[in-house]
Amino acid sequence: MSGSKCRVCKEPAIIDLPRHNANFCAEHLLQLCRRQVEKAIKDHDMLAPDDRVLVAVSGGKDSLAVWDILVDLGYHADGLYVGLGIGEYSDTSYEHTQAFAAERGLSLQVIDLRAEYGYDVPTAAKVTRRVPCSACGLSKRHLFDRAALDGGYDVVVTGHNLDDEAAVLFGNTLRWDVEYLSRQYPVLPARHGFPKKVKPLMRLTEREMAAWCIVRGIDYQVEECPMAIGNKHLAYKDALNAIERQSPGSKASFYLEFVDKMAPILADRSQAATGDLHRCAICGSPTTGDECAFCRLRERVGGHDPVPVELVLHGKARRAYLAGRQGAEG
């Protein structure tokens, strides 16, 4: 069988991690992941031991892994899942999330956009004529913020990993978007009625998170959101992975050295950028206008008949989606 041995215990390895120039067995892969999360939490004051933590879960590998790791490390962490109404993708994402929570006896709160607010992501995209991710991101941010404050949580955890953050950094750097660069930090402190938000997976790659789930027997949503196919974020990730293949460790140094060296230099700029905030006339959330962006979106798109996913997909994403459905039927 395989020749490679675990760096720690010399038993047969199950994974090679070129950026650590080493191989690991299942047990020591898990140990490495736990330690990286502990280091992120400690270095950036992400969580206190008795914090009440709300994890934003999607049913994908990263959010289920971060929930699993935090519970494993002894944190009190509940989950919140938002039903986005993106066809079969959302249905199976919900099933994975629900099964994960039930098997472990964890507390999961569910908010369904269509049932509770009268719209879903494809419909919002069609009516506003904007990309689906725009209405989706806005809705998720608002609902996680609200649920955290209403539920008395100290902090919201998201599953953003090293690859996600490196890809965002790459995009911001290609445009030298100083405003976005100054805000790209793994911790967002609580402010003006917004909860504290943290990214404990900032030191772990996507490949490591998928491996965590496989080793831990977590059955997650492997299929991609149909809206994401062909987007820029994926193109940046591919570019970074091509560099990583040639020069292991590049992604980690690109992002982690940014956080250490550049973020402090840029921090002054982001403080200056906080505008005048007051309460939304409808929901009471902090906003710069009379009504918050979520309430404006809801008023505009709520109550429309549901729009099927394929009607808001274009180009490569549409072809991939239709091919996938044919495969599933045939």
Residues forming the site for other proteins (CB under 8 A): 1-4, 13-16, 18, 23, 26, 58, 60-62, 163, 205-207, 209-211, 214-215, 217, 222-225, 228-229, 231, 233-234, 237-238, 241-242, 244-245, 320, 323-324, 327-328
Residue 329, CB half-sphere, CA atoms under 13 Å: how many?
A: 7
Shortest CB 133 distance to other proteins, Å? 8
Measured CA to CA, the distance from residue 96 to residue 9 in angstroms comes to 33
292 binds, among ligand SF4, other proteins, Zn ion, none (CB under 5 to 8 A by kind): Zn ion
Report CA dihedral (285, 80, 56, 312) to the nearest 10 degrees: -80
Per CB under 6 A, the list member of 15, 25, 46, 121 interacting with ligand SF4 is 121
User: Counting runs of H as helices and runs of E as strands, what totals does the chain give?
Assistant: 14, 10
Partner whose binding site includes residue 121, from ligand SF4, Zn ion, other proteins, none (CB under 5 to 8 Å by kind): ligand SF4
- Other C-beta atoms closer than 10 Å to the C-beta of 273 total 9
CA 216/CA 202 separation, integer angstroms:
20
217 to 246: interface string for Zn ion, x by CB under 5 A: ------------------------------
Q: Is 9 in the site for Zn ion (CB under 5 A)?
A: yes
Interaction partner, residue 249 (Zn ion, ligand SF4, other proteins, none; CB < 5-8 Å by kind): none
Q: Is 12 helix (H, G, I), strand (E, B) or coil?
A: strand
DSSP 191: B
Q: Where do we find the tokens 């008023």? A: 299
Cβ pair 86, 122 in contact under 8 A = yes
In the region spanning residues 167 to 206, those forming contacts with ligand SF4, defined by CB under 6 A, are: none
How far from 255 is each of 7, 98, 187, CA to CA, in Å?
Answer: 25, 33, 14
297 interface partner picked from other proteins, ligand SF4, Zn ion, none, CB below 5 to 8 A per type: none
Among the candidate windows 108-116, 146-154, 221-229, 276-284, which touches Zn ion by CB under 5 A? 276-284
Binding partner of 132, given ligand SF4, Zn ion, other proteins, none, CB within 5-8 angstroms per partner class? ligand SF4
The Cα angle at residue 182 between residues 176 and 187, in degrees rounded to 5:
135
CB 145, min distance to Zn ion, A: 11
Structure tokens at 319: 């072809």
* Contact partner at residue 295 from Zn ion, ligand SF4, other proteins, none, CB < 5 to 8 Å by partner kind: Zn ion
CA atoms within 13 A on the CB side of 104: 23
Which parts of this chain interact with ligand SF4 (CB under 6 A)? 84, 121, 132-133, 136-137, 225, 227-228
